[in-house]
């Protein structure tokens, strides 16, 4: 038996033992334990070092509010830091280690920092690291110098570098009623809603339902409360219309009654079964939400209140009731309210020695007195704890205390104890309600913030509303459940609860002012004096207080520190607490794994979009590249070839004979309807209504502000039937743009738009021998110039597959785009390929495609970059003067027709070195001191046709610089060299080859 | 006649996957029909459109949002205002075009553009809820109804084709990725991949 395990009691399985390690030492516990309860049971009291001062810290709470006992869990090679020991369920093989200590938890060099304690008060970094105005450490430089050391000394756990092999998932759920919290109030609310036949989701952050019923020692309906809760939970879980999720924390309340929750599916298991996630993230869309999230206990702030062995009274009750653990042998209670007397009685009953009850109140109600008698001790009324001693608590000092004035008097009396349980009252866990909107309301009697008036569709129940007793929880839960399903509160008697009738109102004592560090925020080492310092320095608003002192930040988000912190600030300001207010709570309620937020996208940020010929490309040696979602061949490299050698070979083969490229990725939109031609006239800068059937035309679209947007060819397949093609990258945006105009601006036009990108596989066959390749395999149509002139369209077959062929060219060669149903794409591609073998056909990738278009001076996404106009790109010829179109009203603005704008030019490298996209063009200077930029390179390649490195660029003045020289400046890649600015039509400017 | 190629390629392997105890909560299969199209009417013409589709397919298709119908060798469901997705056999193409003159609306062939993936079994709702933020419960999503939705970048049109069965129509180019995502989501409950028409 472990030294601190009570001989009976608790919900642990005493028949089985579980081995685990903490800081490399072996311990045992039982199923049902948390790491915290098992460590306490083994007498381990020192579990961590504090954030700033490296003070020894122990376990302070029993749930999600734990500020101190943060540990790192080691699983496989993965380190997960900053997990509260109170939230780790014990399982076989669990390995955890303490944090923020070196070399060991017991002997920590960082603790020397305590000597500098007075220097490290709030605002220390702001004040110290502003830096001098002059000198080598001016400005932020001093901070930069010191930051490394400070970061090393401060902080919490350390994350590892091993990739996380765990699986994470997301889940969407819909329900009529979502109940948050499965304590007595949540259980009765869920029962009422479920019995009305509604779809209910009940979520509980702990592994077991029941909440306080698990450790209250009360009876409900004549049964021990925990048995009542277990039976009700089982009945609810068996219902078809209720989903019970345990180990699930509702962490965020979002618009539209959407609640975010994290389910820890397999953290409590040695390993997850195949396919089972570690965490599952729930997005719950609820009709109504019942918040039954309970209350959190507040500590009292007094010197030495952070010593290992000082714990919350409610937590101690829970350790005894739920885990059968006595957190000490000689225990004392320090309180400003009745609820701690329960802990005293429970400690005694479990076999502990209650040495003292110290109560700040001069008098106490009879129910509390009766509990003190059960505990076997006469309370020291009108007293306060003024100090503690021991690395692990060994002694407390008490003194007479006047609750009305806060004054201490008389002798300081030492009392030997190894555990001090503290209660400063209870605060409803209103986090989700606050997230949902509205200001929390200060209740002067309960000394707590109560939930705001709902701004979303939620109801409250139980301790969340400020209710102090289980009987109130049962009634308010049931009524909230009924109200959530549109029913009136029940008049039936709720289950009877047997519990001492204690007074729920604490005395308004938040702090005992005596000598020594008194901590408000244990996790961030914020003392009461820090709060007062913030006040003296003018940071009096709660928002400023939080940021200046870090009070209420970090993983626990101030669950135990907010109310005392605000009370101390209110006192300093001489205002009631309600007027000082509180910060608005924000998500998450407790930490959420990033993996759960990524869900199934862990490792796959986007889907792979594959063309019908994808597998052929891969099988034939293509090196693929990602273009948006699409995977496209970059090159089809031969052994030993560099990328440049491969694309130069491919591009040269196209110019010499024939090549084939996959163009299935081009955006394709079916534009159909009686107004289709009119619509195209409005969206394109040029005219489409005059386009004859069976012909295609190049078109340019502008944005409304006159900037170039996208280009492509549109084919007239029938009188009212067009096939629009867009660039690969812009397909989605063009569709949105068109649908917007159709829905909002021109709803009178009868047009239907449908994305048919995926319907068609496309292959472009380009080169002087392209026609011969088609002639070798196309049936049902002629493909000669007469039947298929430039921009003509014909329908035919390739090996039994219907195809549509359009003669158009991006490469500047005689070229055809062949389209067929995507399911036949590979077959048609392979047939074209076979027909091309006699001509030495090569497949070419994006690099060669880019090279061919740069040689021709055709613009693409790099030039239509959201900043250029049609005129900047010398596409004036495509701007109709006969009709308005999107962008026509704004394209002639002064700034857009300025002669000095960046305009399209060609560049020739004069030093035989490559040019790079993104490099600047300058007129003077050198590598280290380039002159002022007059533009930049948008695309570059080695041109096999010109045997030179060439590029396209946007340069001030454009054409006016043709024939002049400049320099390319690329300091990042250490490149500076001479270039000639030339026409962007490098190759075959008359277009003879195209018409060949 | 040349056979159409499935976009799933080597990713489609008939087998039993997932749970170590051998159980399977869902079956997955590709069920792409030979004909798929979007049929759309001009504003106010959804009833006429539904009737025209009904004439061709034999389906009794309501004109209400999300409505759908299932029949022998044919299925249709609403995917937007005045717009239906129609699936069936090859003969529908010409007949549907004839039944929808320009004054009624238009039909756009998508027979190659979409891929249909079927998920069936007691855990189908659970698996799909991982991927789509819509309510798959039978109360909210009745048999034959359809939904137009998306999983991140993947547009999906879904029809409930049975009490525990859904057909998901995705863009062909994204089908292999979606298939992988669906398999991964199904691993928790165990799944069986069926060959051919499931």
Which residue in chain A has the smallest CA separation from B34?
A: A823
Q: How confident is the model at residue A724 (pLDDT cuts 50, 70, 90)?
A: very high
Q: Tens digits of per-residue pLDDT, A684-715? A: 999 999 999 999 999 999 999 999 999 999 99
CB contact under 8 A, B106 and A615: no
Q: How far apart are CA A609 and CA A630, in angstroms?
A: 4
Cis peptide before A589 (omega within 30 of 0): no
Question: Positive or negative, the Cα torsion across A340, A341, A347, A353?
Answer: positive
| A353-359/A330-335 β-pairing | parallel
Q: How far apart are CA A168 and CA A604, in angstroms?
A: 12
CB contact under 8 A, A629 and B171: no
Q: How far apart are CA A891 and CA A707, in angstroms?
A: 7
Question: Positive or negative, the Cα torsion across A880, A883, A885, A888?
Answer: positive
Q: How far apart are CA A702 and CA A711, in angstroms?
A: 9
pLDDT over 90 (residue A125): no
CB contact under 8 A, A754 and B110: yes
Q: What is the CA radius of gyration of chain B?
A: 17
CB contact under 8 A, A674 and B102: yes
Q: How confident is the model at residue A615 (pLDDT cuts 50, 70, 90)?
A: very high
In three-state form (DSSP H/G/I as H, E/B as E, the rest C), the secondary structure along A845-871 is CHHHHHHHHHHHCCCCCCCCCCCCCCC
Classify residue A469 as left (phi > 0), alpha (psi -120 to 50) or beta. Answer: beta
Q: How confident is the model at residue A1 (pLDDT cuts 50, 70, 90)?
A: very low
Q: Tens digits of per-residue pLDDT, A409-454? A: 999 999 999 999 999 999 999 999 999 999 999 999 999 999 999 9
Alpha-carbon distance B70 to nearest alpha carbon in chain A (angstroms): 24
Q: Span A176-203, mean pLDDT?
A: 98
β-sheet with A380-381: strand ranges across: A310-312, A419-423, A330-335, A353-359, A380-381
Query: Which residues does A77 contact at the CB level (< 8 Å), separation at least 6?
Result: A160, A162
pTM above 0.90, yes or no: yes
Residue B188 contacts A where some CB pair is shorter than 8 Å: yes
Query: Which residues does A405 contact at the CB level (< 8 Å), separation at least 6?
Result: none
pLDDT of residue A154: 66
Of residues A516, A538, A517, the one with CA closest to residue A527: A517
Residue A982 contacts B where some CB pair is shorter than 8 Å: no
Q: How far apart are CA A778 and CA A796, in angstroms?
A: 7
Is-contact A511 A505, C-beta < 8 A? Answer: no
Give, for B87, the enclosing helix (H) or strand (E). strand B83-88
Q: Span A54-76, mean pLDDT?
A: 94
Residue A576: strand, helix, or coil:
coil
Distance, C-alpha A227 to centroid of its chain: 40
- Chain A residues with CB inside 8 Å of B42's CB? 673, 750
Give ipTM to 2 decimals. 0.97
pLDDT of residue A117: 63
Is-contact B112 A760, C-beta < 8 A? Answer: yes
Q: How confident is the model at residue A113 (pLDDT cuts 50, 70, 90)?
A: low
Query: Which residues does A567 contact at the CB level (< 8 Å), separation at least 6?
Result: A510, A511, A577
pLDDT of residue A554: 87
What are the DSSP calls for A101-168, one per residue? Answer: -SB-SSSBGGGGGGGGGGGG-TTHHHHHTS--SSSTTTTTHHHHHHHHHHHHHS-S-----S-----E
Residue A673 contacts B where some CB pair is shorter than 8 Å: yes
Residue B149 contacts A where some CB pair is shorter than 8 Å: no
Q: How far apart are CA A764 and CA A449, in angstroms?
A: 70
Is-contact A867 A709, C-beta < 8 A? Answer: no
CB contact under 8 A, A273 and B19: yes
Q: Span A93-101, mean pLDDT?
A: 91
Q: What is the CA radius of gyration of chain A?
A: 38
Of residues A420, A398, A387, the one with CA closest to residue A59: A420
CA A62 → CA A38, A211, A722, A954, B97, distances in Å?
A: 12, 12, 68, 65, 69
Q: Tens digits of per-residue pLDDT, A631-665? A: 999 999 999 999 999 999 999 999 999 999 999 99
Q: Span A873-897, mean pLDDT?
A: 96
Nearest to B18 among A275, A673, A824 (CB): A275
Residue located via tokens 């570098």: A161
Q: Which of B114, B171, B172 to mutate to test the interface with A (most CBs of A within 10 A)?
A: B172
Nearest to B188 among A277, A283, A604 (CB): A277
Burial class (CB in 10 A: 0-12, 13-18, 19+), A806: buried
In A300-363, alpha helices (H): 313-323, 339-349
CB contact under 8 A, A822 and B172: yes
CB contact under 8 A, A630 and B188: no
CA B69 → CA A742, B136, B142, distances in Å?
A: 29, 17, 11
User: What torsion do the CA atoms of A858, A864, A865, A868 make, to the nearest 10 degrees?
Assistant: 110
- Chain A residues with CB inside 8 Å of B181's CB? 600, 604, 607
Q: Span A301-322, mean pLDDT?
A: 97
| A193 vs A164, residue with greater confidence | A193
Residue A977: strand, helix, or coil:
strand
pLDDT of residue A118: 65
Instruction: Give me chain A's average pLDDT, please.
Output: 94
- Chain A residues with CB inside 8 Å of B113's CB? 755-760, 822
Of residues A114, A94, A110, the one with CA closest to residue A23: A94
Question: Positive or negative, the Cα torsion across A808, A809, A814, A816?
Answer: negative
Angle, alpha carbons B47-B52-B56 (nearest 5°): 145
Of residues A356, A279, A843, the one with CA closest to residue A598: A279
Residue B43 contacts A where some CB pair is shorter than 8 Å: yes
pLDDT of residue A111: 77
Q: Span A781-804, mean pLDDT?
A: 97
Provide the CB-side half-sphere exposure for A135 (13 A, CA).
Answer: 6
Nearest to A607 among B102, B134, B153 (CB): B153
Is-contact A569 A540, C-beta < 8 A? Answer: yes
What are the DSSP calls for A858-916, one per residue? Answer: ---TTTSSSS--TTTTT-GGGS-SSS--TTTTTTT-HHHH-TTSEEEEEEEESSS----
pLDDT over 90 (residue A565): yes
Residue B25 contacts A where some CB pair is shorter than 8 Å: no
pLDDT over 90 (residue A603): no
Burial B48-72 (b: 16+ CB within 10 A, else e): bbbebbbebbebebbbeebbbbbee
| A279-291/A168-180 β-pairing | parallel
Q: Tens digits of per-residue pLDDT, A131-161? A: 777 777 777 777 777 777 777 766 678 888 9
Is-contact A739 A747, C-beta < 8 A? Answer: no
pLDDT over 70 (residue B166): yes
CB contact under 8 A, A600 and B154: no
Q: How confident is the model at residue B198 (pLDDT cuts 50, 70, 90)?
A: very low
Neighbours of B158 (CB within 10 A): 25
Q: How far apart are CA A765 and CA A785, in angstroms?
A: 16
Residue A151 contacts B where some CB pair is shorter than 8 Å: no
φ, ψ of residue A431 to 5 degrees: the values are -50, -50
Which residue in chain B has the smallest CA separation from A282?
A: B130
- Chain A residues with CB inside 8 Å of B178's CB? 607
| A111 vs A625, residue with greater confidence | A625
């Amino acid at each position: 038996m472990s030294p601190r395990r009570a001989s009976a009691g608790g919900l642990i399985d005493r028949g089985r033992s579980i081995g685990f390690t903490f800081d490399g030492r072996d311990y045992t516990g039982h199923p049902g334990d948390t790491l915290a309860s098992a460590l306490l049971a083994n007498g381990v009291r020192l579990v961590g070092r504090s954030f700033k001062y490296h003070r020894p810290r122990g376990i302070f709470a029993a749930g999600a509010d734990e500020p101190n006992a943060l540990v790192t869990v080691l699983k496989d090679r993965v380190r997960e830091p900053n997990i509260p020991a109170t939230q780790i369920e014990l399982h076989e093989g669990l390995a955890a280690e303490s944090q923020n200590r070196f070399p060991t938890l017991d002997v920590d060099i960082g603790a020397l920092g305590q000597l500098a304690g007075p220097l490290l008060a709030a605002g220390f970094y702001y004040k110290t690291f502003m830096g001098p105005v002059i000198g080598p450490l001016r400005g932020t430089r001093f901070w930069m110098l010191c930051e490394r050391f400070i970061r090393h000394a401060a902080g919490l756990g350390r994350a590892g570098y091993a990739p996380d092999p765990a699986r994470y998932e997301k889940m969407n759920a819909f329900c009529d009623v979502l109940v948050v919290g499965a304590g007595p109030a949540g259980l009765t609310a869920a029962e009422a809603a479920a019995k009305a036949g509604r779809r209910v989701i009940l979520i509980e952050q702990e592994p077991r339902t029941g909440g306080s019923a698990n450790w209250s020692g009360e009876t409900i309906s004549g049964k021990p409360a925990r048995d009542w809760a277990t039976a009700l939970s089982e009945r609810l879980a068996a219902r078809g219309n209720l989903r019970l999720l345990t180990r699930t924390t509702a962490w965020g309340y979002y618009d539209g009654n959407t609640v975010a929750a994290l389910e820890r599916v397999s953290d409590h298991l040695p390993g997850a079964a195949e396919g089972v996630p570690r965490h599952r993230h729930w997005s719950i869309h609820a009709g109504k939400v019942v918040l039954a999230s309970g209350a959190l206990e507040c500590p009292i702030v007094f010197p030495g209140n952070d010593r290992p062995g000082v714990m919350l009274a409610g937590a101690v009750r829970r350790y005894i009731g739920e885990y059968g653990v006595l957190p000490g042998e000689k225990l004392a209670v320090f309180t400003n309210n009745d609820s701690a007397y329960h802990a005293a009685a429970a400690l005694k009953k479990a076999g502990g020695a209650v040495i003292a009850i110290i109560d700040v109140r001069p008098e106490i109600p009879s129910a509390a007195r009766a509990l003190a008698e059960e505990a076997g001790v006469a309370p020291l009324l009108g007293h306060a704890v003024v100090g503690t001693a021991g690395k692990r608590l060994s002694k407390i000092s008490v003194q007479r205390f006047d609750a009305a004035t806060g004054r201490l008097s008389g002798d300081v009396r030492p009392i030997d104890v190894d555990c001090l349980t503290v209660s400063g009252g209870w605060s409803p866990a209103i986090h989700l309600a606050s997230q949902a909107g509205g200001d929390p309301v200060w209740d002067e009697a309960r000394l707590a913030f109560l939930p705001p008036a709902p701004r979303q569709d939620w109801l409250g129940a139980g301790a969340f509303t400020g209710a102090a007793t289980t009987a109130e929880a049962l009634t308010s839960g049931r009524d909230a459940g009924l109200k959530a399903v549109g029913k009136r509160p029940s008049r039936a008697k709720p289950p009877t609860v047997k519990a001492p009738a204690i007074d729920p109102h604490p005395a308004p004592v938040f702090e005992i002012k005596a000598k020594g560090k008194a901590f408000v925020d244990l996790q961030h080492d914020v003392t009461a004096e820090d709060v007062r310092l913030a006040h003296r320095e003018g940071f009096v608003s709660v928002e400023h207080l939080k940021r200046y002192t870090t009070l209420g930040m970090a993983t626990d988000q101030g669950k135990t520190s907010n109310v005392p912190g605000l009370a101390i600030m209110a006192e300093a300001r001489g205002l009631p607490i309600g007027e000082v207010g509180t910060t608005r709570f924000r998500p998450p309620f407790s930490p959420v794994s990033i993996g759960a937020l990524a869900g199934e996208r862990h490792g796959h940020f986007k889907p792979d979009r594959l063309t019908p010929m994808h597998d052929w490309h891969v099988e034939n040696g293509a090196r693929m590249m990602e273009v948006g979602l699409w995977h496209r061949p970059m090159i089809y490299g031969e052994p030993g070839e560099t990328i440049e050698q491969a694309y130069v070979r491919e591009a040269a083969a196209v110019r010499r004979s024939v090549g084939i490229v996959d163009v299935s990725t081009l955006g394709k939109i079916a534009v159909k309807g009686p107004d289709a031609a009119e619509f195209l006239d409005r969206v394109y800068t040029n005219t489409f209504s005059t386009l004859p059937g069976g012909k295609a035309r190049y078109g340019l679209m502008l944005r409304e502000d006159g900037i170039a947007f996208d280009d492509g060819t549109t084919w007239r397949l029938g009188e009212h039937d067009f096939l629009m093609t867009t660039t690969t990258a812009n397909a989605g945006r063009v569709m949105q743009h068109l649908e917007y105009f159709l829905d909002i601006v021109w709803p009178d036009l009868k047009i239907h738009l449908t994305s048919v990108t995926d319907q068609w596989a496309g292959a472009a066959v380009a080169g002087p021998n392209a026609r011969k390749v088609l002639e070798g395999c196309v049936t049902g149509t002629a493909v000669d110039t007469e039947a298929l002139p430039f921009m003509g369209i014909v329908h035919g077959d390739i090996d039994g597959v219907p195809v549509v062929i359009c003669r158009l060219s991006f490469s500047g060669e005689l070229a055809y785009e062949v389209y067929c149903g995507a399911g036949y794409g590979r077959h048609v591609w392979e047939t074209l390929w076979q027909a091309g073998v006699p001509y030495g056909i090569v497949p070419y990738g994006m690099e060669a495609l880019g090279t061919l278009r740069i040689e021709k001076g055709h613009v693409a996404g790099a030039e239509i970059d959201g900043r250029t106009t049609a005129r900047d790109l010398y596409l004036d010829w495509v701007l109709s003067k006969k009709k308005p179109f999107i962008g026509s009203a704004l394209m002639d603005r002064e700034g857009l027709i300025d002669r000095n704008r960046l305009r399209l030019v060609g560049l020739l490298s004069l030093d035989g070195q490559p040019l790079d996209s993104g490099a600047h063009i300058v007129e003077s200077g050198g590598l280290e001191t380039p002159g002022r930029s007059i533009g930049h390179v948008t695309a570059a390649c080695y041109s096999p046709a010109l045997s030179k490195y060439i590029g396209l660029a946007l340069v001030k003045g454009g054409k006016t610089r043709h024939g002049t020289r400049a320099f390319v400046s690329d300091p990042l890649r250490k490149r500076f060299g001479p270039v000639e600015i030339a026409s962007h039509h490098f190759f075959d400017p008359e277009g003879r080859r195209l018409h060949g | 006649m040349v056979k159409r190629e499935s976009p799933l390629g080597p990713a489609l392997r008939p087998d039993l996957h997932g749970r170590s105890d051998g159980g399977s909560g869902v079956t997955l299969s590709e069920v792409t029909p030979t004909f798929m199209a979007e049929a759309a009417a001009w504003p106010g013409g959804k009833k006429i459109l539904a009737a025209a589709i009904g004439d061709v397919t034999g389906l009794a298709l309501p004109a209400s949002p999300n409505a759908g119908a299932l029949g022998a060798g044919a299925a249709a469901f609403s995917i937007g205002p005045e717009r239906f997705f129609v699936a069936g056999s090859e003969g529908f193409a010409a007949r549907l075009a004839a039944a929808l003159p320009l004054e009624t609306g238009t039909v756009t062939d998508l027979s190659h553009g979409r891929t249909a993936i079927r998920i069936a079994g007691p855990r189908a709702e659970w698996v799909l809820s991982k991927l789509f933020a819509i309510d798959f419960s039978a109360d909210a999503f009745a048999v034959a109804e359809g939904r137009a939705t998306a999983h991140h970048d993947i547009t999906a049109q879904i029809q409930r084709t049975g009490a525990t069965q859904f057909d998901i129509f995705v863009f062909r180019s994204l089908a292999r990725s979606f298939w992988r995502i669906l398999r991964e989501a199904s691993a928790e409950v165990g799944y069986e991949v069926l060959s051919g028409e499931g």
